[in-house]
Amino acid sequence: MGHAFGTVRTVHGRSNRLFLGAFLLRPIPTHPLPPFHMTPACDRLSTHRSASLPCPSRAHCPAAAFPRFGPRPRTRLFAFPSLVIQPTAFKTSVNAVLRLVASCGLGLGAASHGLLDQASLSTLSRLIFAFFQPALLFTNVATTLATPSSYGSSLLVLPAFAVLQILFGFLYGKGMAASLRLDPASDAGKELAVCSAFANSGPLPLLFADAFFRLHPTDPTLYPRAVAYISFYLVAWSPLFWTLGSTILGSSTSQPAYAKSPPSPSPSPTLPSRLLHHPLLRKTLSPPTLGCLLGALVGSTPFLRAIFFGPTAPLAALFDALRTMGSAYLPTVLLVLAGSLAQGFKSLNLKDPALLSRTGAICFARFFLMPATAFLLLTLGRAFSLIPSSDPLLAFVLLLQACMPCAQNTVVILQLQQRPAAAASMATLVSLVYLAAVVPMGLLLSFVLQYVGL
């Protein structure tokens, strides 16, 4: 006779007693049962989920030995930031934006008194393009590469991120132009494309880095590292802006005086001379691009580092002089920005529906699509170990670049091409975008600071 509750015989003729009666007489639960776990050491069934719930046979089968047959916890690929803005982050961001507004206000005051006319703006633009920005890029890139640090792998992420952001911004600009039914070859279509593709990646990020990190109470290395990160972002951004941006806007038949090729010394120039003065090569090897390349060469070559760095370096004084000249880049660019905004405000017409629609499209691309795209790229880069997660400052710089308004130097390109009418139209559009950018920039910077934890 078998057991009172029944016996089950296996193929090998051995019986395993199952307490079927006790199991069937249990009350039916009104909630879903948790997944079952079978102990390898006994024949009893347990319904506990984890070690926090007691096992009925814990004396000889610890819960840690139970294989789990239930659903595994899901790993979240995307961790969205909280939508609640912390007061500290909001206050810091507002102070930084107010600093930008105050700097532009001083420049607007100088422009209203006739100190920043069209001639002075053109001169300052040429100085920025040919001297101040190359000096800044040369010294920062060379110093960063010459200084040993544990963040060397982070530097390669910045140029790649700049290329991706420009690519996505250009595609968004083309999509916005198509949605507004603008001809891509028209001046309005070109303005929309270049303003969506290129953000203000130099002056404003440097200004915000100065406001956030120069007097940081706990980590004094944040500010020089932030400046180095922004400079390496400009390594890819600057050549693309002065080449691709100039190509998008189109060039006029007349060139500025400093860009004109010198007359050929002979009626039949040699092949190296023709290559040297080729328009495409002159656009590619612009002064900012040369500053980046020379800085990378000096910082990565031991022989050149010994010439420029150190107390006994023969060219240390020259390097310090270039660093001083590069420090004039930020105030000079802010003056040109304020002067351009002042000229744009003079011809601003808020009743122009075409101008308002283009401004709204640029703001939507720059303050919604681009931050969302940068957050997605950052999350994917961290998930695939392409972007280090242990460097919050790197994440801050990458997201900061995506929250900036359109590049003011688009006006500089048109001024250098001696196209005053197109420059005035671009200045009006940029002025309206910057006027509308104060509130979204403050909110976005608050989110970025809160998300990265700085």
Q: Note the pLDDT of residue 360.
A: 92
Nearest to 61 by CA among 79, 82, 43: 43
Residue 368: what pLDDT? 93
pLDDT tens-digit series, residues 88-106 = 667 777 777 887 788 778 8
The list of the chain residues with pLDDT below 50 reads: 1-24, 31, 33-69, 73, 75-78, 252-267, 271-272, 275-276
Cα 61 to Cα 44: distance, rounded to the nearest angstrom:
10
State residue 395's pLDDT score. Answer: 92
- Write down the pLDDT at residue 163: 94
**What's the confidence (pLDDT) of residue 412?**
74
* Residues 102, 204: Cα–Cα separation, whole Å: 13
pLDDT in tens, 365-400: 999 999 999 999 999 999 988 888 888 989 999 999
Q: Please give the domain boundaries of the chain with CATH numbers for all domains.
A: 87-116+157-252+329-452 (1.20.1530)
What is the per-residue pLDDT for 450?
84
- Give the three-class secondary structure for 223: helix
Q: Is 386 exposed, middle or buried (0-12, 13-18, 19+ CB in 10 A)?
A: middle
CA proximity to 37, closest of 5, 4, 62? 62
pLDDT at 257: 37
Burial (CB < 10 A; 0-12, 13-18, 19+), residue 204, is: buried
Q: What is the pTM of this model?
A: 0.70
pLDDT for position 27: 56
pLDDT of 402 reads 93
pLDDT at 4: 47
